[in-house]
Amino acid sequence: MDVKSKILIIGGTGNIGKYLVEASAKAGHPTFALVRESKISDSKRAAIIESFKSLGVIFLHGDLHNHQQLVNAINQVEIVISAVGGDLVAHQVKIIAAIKEAGNIKRFLPSEFGVDVDRAHAVEPAASLSRTKVEIRRAIEAEGIPYTYLVSNGFAGYLIYILNNFGDSFSASLPRDKIVILCDGNPKVVFTKEEDIAAYTIKAVKR
């Protein structure tokens, strides 16, 4: 009988996090979501929270900045997936420290979900975020924590959002005489549906 690993998702109500929580629960994993109490009562996230409840997701109250709460949450699972946003990527050192203290985690998937930062040649502002993600990778490796780095390239949903809002948001500043195309204009780009990213991530927890 295939025993499903217990998975903790940090940042589960965010852009990619909500898909990860859903994919984990639907795949039959006992799924835990670390959430601040303020998020539970947040009207903007009410529908997400209710959908989690209907899937049997277990809520653990905690905060990324509270070490003991992190350790307590991590002690209840075997896999940790971080889906924190760009402004919190550097703070994943706190997750690393908590995983190291708990000592029971079989695999950690940090918040990547983009390009392979060890191979990327980004320009600002993306370059700063890439450097931070590289630093997190090195910190995980230095602590000897089992890990998987999930590289998914761009989010299709985010591209659609940008295209739908581009005219309204930026029409006043759109260039009228010329535009600058980087390189020769022929580089390929790949965008992936968030649901597919989440499904692949959950399949990767055993890798």
> Active-site positions?
133
Q: According to the 3-state scheme, what is the secondary structure of the chain? A: CCCCCCEEEECCCCCCHHHHHHHHHHCCCCEEEEECHHHHCCHHHHHHHHHHHHCCCEEEECCCCCHHHHHHHHCCCCEEEECCCHHHHHHHHHHHHHHHHHCCCCEEECCCCECCCCCCCCCCCHHHHHHHHHHHHHHHHHCCCCECCCECCEEHHHHHHHHHHHHHHHHHHCCCCCCCCCCCCCCCCCEECHHHHHHHHHHHHHC
